[in-house]
Structures are given as structure tokens and as C-alpha cells.
Amino acid sequence: MTSTAVAHPNIALVKYWGKADADLALPATGSVSMGLDVFPTTTSVTLTGQQGHDAFTLNGRVVDDGALVRVERFLDLVRELAGSDARAEVVSDNTVPTGAGLASSASGFAALAVAAADAYGLDLSARDLSRLARRGSGSATRSIPGGVSVWHAGDDQASFAETVPAPPMAMVVVTIDDGPKEIGSREAMRRTIATSPFYPAWVTSTTVTVDDMLAACAAGDFTRIGELTESNALRMHATIEGAFPPIRYLNSRSVAVFDAVAAMRADGLEAYATADAGPNVVVLCRPEDRARVASALDGYGAVIESGTGPAAHLLRSEGSGENPEAEESTR
């Protein structure tokens, strides 16, 4: 049978940077993110009678490198839960444009978790799907729930993501550079923990910021959400820049976007900038302001607008006899 699921990327308002346990993919702190409604990843999982290896096709190309190993390790976890040794064929279409500056691993492993759980006959709660996605990639934990979500720090049972109440928000993605990063986030996290003298302060301050952000979201206080978002992003980059040898993701064009966003605020247009492990900048704003923000940032890079996205969900479940269209993975 073939199970097909869809998931979207998310952008952290309070960042995840550092693991407490790499094997279990447990984060050093909680984090909070907004799911996007653009760039879905659609993934199908079909159990095959083949022995040996799983098969993985991404955007029409057969994958046989480290990405396949990562998918196979993830499917091993699903097989362990299901008590199965069946191999699978995974076919994934990732619509994140090359270099849009959004990590593909979040939507990728969230869609894979939902599709694989269904294909192997597991009936997992949204919480358990989120815990499962975590083992593929940390940020994938937050692509299981929709809207704004918190990913809890804690042990294997407690570390999942769930939707929290929040005001309507939008984001404008500004792609500055579409080249590959010099250093991936996994390695950069390790180096930051090992060498940045600022890392302990990052952990203690972010733990407080998560609570502050959740309170601001619950209160519907957009201004406070935005202020905390920009501050936390700059604290993360400062912490990363403190590594040795240093790692610097923001370049002069990224900083120019932060300046442009500050100028918007000075003009009374409320917007706040954030950036992940690369030079691209994402701007948080109210939904009614997104076209104005996008137009003001035209010329700084390729600009893409997004609203708040849905939960990861099953699209089709062939052979299970269920009603796939009506089914949400997060029931």
C-alpha cells in the first residue's frame, strides 16, 4: 500500500540551537515557530517486498548518498515501532525553490513521519508523530502541528511540539544568497557548544525567552512577539559567531535587510527580522501588512510572502480502507 503525506516548512520565532542528546535528538532548550503555508513537501511511502535497502527518490532523482542513509535510519525507527522488517520506497517532492533559504529537512522529515507511520500501520497521536519526526531532524518536530507551535525540551517522551494560541501573523522571506552554506547547522551546533563562550548564556536566556514568547502569543501581543523574535535571532547569531573558528552566517546584505526592517518600524510599519543558519532573512509582520512589507523589501533579494500553515497531514492512504481526504494526521 502507498501512504502519501504533506508537510510545510516552519520558521522559528525562538530558535533551536544545540542538542542535549544527539542520539535521541533532544534539544538543549525549547523553541517556538510559525508554520508556513508555502512550499509543501509531498512524500509517498510504499512498502516493497525487496530485501536489503530502502529506495529514495527526491524531486525525480534517485538518491543514493548520505541522504538515503538518513532516510533509512529514520525508517529503521518506524520499523522498530511497527515490529516490521519490510523495506520501503520513498518518493518525495519538495517544492522549496532551490536556495529559498528554508531548510527542507523540517517539512521533509515531517511528511516522511506521517506517510511512513501510516504505511507501516502505526496509529500515532499528533504528539507521537512529532516525537518521531524529531528523530529525523530537530526542526521537523515543529512541522507536525499547524500554526504557531512550541517544541518542548525534555526527555524522549516529553520532547514534542504542539500548537499554541497566537494572533494571526505572516512572514516575508527574503532570499539573499541561494548558494550552499559553508557549514551545515548540525556541525555548526556542535562547534558552538564545544567552543563558544556565549553558549551557556544562550541556553539560560533562551529558556526564559520561550516562556516570554508563549505568554506574548497567548496575550495576542504582536509587538512583543516581534521584539522577542528579532532579539532571539540576533542572540543566536552572536552565540554562533562566538565559536572558534568563528562561524558567521549573516553577510552585509543580510544586515541591510535588518536595517530596512528597523527603518520600516521607524515609519510606523511593524515588522521584525529573523534569520536561520544562512544569510537569508525572514520578516515577521501582521497579515494585513505583508504586501507592503514585501514591496518595501523588493530589491534586497527574492521576496516570497507566506501566511500561517496547516498541520502535516495524510493526503492518501491506498489500501488501508480509510477515508484519506477527510483524515488529518493530527487527529
Residue numbers at the binding site for ligand 2P0 (CB under 6 A): 12, 15-17, 25, 31, 103, 105, 137-139, 185-186, 276-277
Q: Which helix (H) or strand (E) holds 240?
A: helix 222-241
Q: Which is nearer to ligand 2P0, 3 or 56 (CB)?
A: 56
Q: Which is nearer to ligand 2P0, 44 or 105 (CB)?
A: 105
CA distance 33 to 142: 7
Residue nearest to ligand 2P0 (CB): 138
Q: Which is nearer to ligand 2P0, 76 or 328 (CB)?
A: 76
Which of 312, 8, 5, 6 shows the shortest CA–CA distance to 171? 8
Q: Which is nearer to ligand 2P0, 17 or 202 (CB)?
A: 17
Check: CB of residue 154 under 8 Å from CB of residue 201: no
Least distance (Å) between residue 46 CB and ligand 2P0: 25
20 exposed, middle or buried (CB, 10 Å; 0-12, 13-18, 19+)? middle
Least distance (Å) between residue 103 CB and ligand 2P0: 5
Check: CB of residue 90 under 8 Å from CB of residue 44: yes
Least distance (Å) between residue 24 CB and ligand 2P0: 11
Least distance (Å) between residue 276 CB and ligand 2P0: 4
- Buried b / exposed e over 229-244, threshold 16 CB at 10 Å, is bbbbbebbbebbebbe
Q: Which is nearer to ligand 2P0, 10 or 317 (CB)?
A: 10
Per the listing, cell 536489503 goes with 52
Least distance (Å) between residue 186 CB and ligand 2P0: 4
Least distance (Å) between residue 317 CB and ligand 2P0: 27
Q: Which is nearer to ligand 2P0, 23 or 288 (CB)?
A: 23
CA distance 95 to 300: 23
